[in-house]
Structure 1
Amino acid sequence: MTLLRMYAITAIVLALKMSAISVAQGRARVAAGIFVNPEDARLFQANQAPEEAPAVQRAARAWLNDLENIPIFLILCWIYVAAGLSPTAFVVYCVVFMVARIAHTICYLNSIQPLRTIVFTVGALDTLALMVHLVIEIVLA
């Protein structure tokens, strides 16, 4: 598999995963019948409240966690692709990160601990390994 193809698959899967969080937020809003924006409350004939329902807040925190992790990983991946490094190692980095982030979202939305922390750590260590690989192959070369 080419580096660019793997990068594209990774970016698309992660974008779809993040989109799923948006769907989860919307469903949680409708299920709770609580909306922060008055126009949304009117549209859905629901209650307007000063803050989101707990399930919506949880999904928002999962989204923020993605925003702290996914862009950094994708930037590092782009450097890897541009450098033309090992495709085999790249597939491993990408698959491990995708699986970890998907599992993290599932665990976050369903309040599953300690698995949420474990899969978060796996994704973070995968990103760290990718960084070290880039430093060795590009910076120190």
Structure 2
Amino acid sequence: MNSLLCIYALCVVALFVKMLAISCYQGFYRISRLTFKHPEDAGFVGRPASPEELPQVLRAAQAWANDLENIPLFFVLGALCLVFNPPFMLTAGLMVLFTVARMVHTLTFLARWQPWRTIAYAVAITCLLGLAAMVSMGAVRHF
């Protein structure tokens, strides 16, 4: 089996677990505070619906939305890189660095740590640009 495919697969799973953790984070705050915005959820625990979401839940939703702007691009670019057999070390480094940067971004987003959040975001975007460049070079090479 291709070692780069294994690294890509592990990065995909790590990013999935990270996004799942954000959902669990939201659920933890809702359940521990017994505060639910949707009437059916609040009614299930015998509480009235809250007019507003908890701040922690809103923050996590923003982190989740940011993931949805970036992580699917990694899935596509990473998979396309595998098609063109790019340089192993560079591609593996970009994939792992992207994954770590997105994890750091989420932690710093939830903790409200600047400038670390912006730095993590910039690192992840730079990795995506690098993967896009390798896909482009591979496509041109095989044209």
| TM-score, shorter chain, exceeding 0.5 | yes
- Which residue pairs with 1:31 in the alignment? 32
Q: Which amino acid aligns with 2:64?
A: W
Paired with 2:37 and 2:81, the residues of 1 have a C-alpha distance of 42
Identity %: 38
* Range 37-46 or range 67-76, more displaced: 37-46
Q: Does 1:51 align with 2:52?
A: yes
- Which residue pairs with 1:123 in the alignment? 124
Paired with 1:119 and 1:58, the residues of 2 have a C-alpha distance of 17
Paired with 1:139 and 1:68, the residues of 2 have a C-alpha distance of 27
Moved over 6 A (4+): none
Contact 1:104 1:120 in 2 (8 A): yes
Paired with 2:45 and 2:94, the residues of 1 have a C-alpha distance of 43
Q: Which amino acid aligns with 2:118?
A: T
* Range 8-17 or range 128-137, more displaced: 128-137
- Which residue pairs with 1:40 in the alignment? 41
Paired with 2:125 and 2:65, the residues of 1 have a C-alpha distance of 15
Q: Which amino acid aligns with 2:63?
A: A
Contact 2:86 2:134 in 1 (8 A): no
Q: Does 1:107 align with 2:108?
A: yes
Structure 1, unpaired ranges of 5+? none
Supply the RMSD in Å over aligned alpha carbons: 1.5
Paired with 1:113 and 1:16, the residues of 2 have a C-alpha distance of 24
Structure 2, unpaired ranges of 5+? none
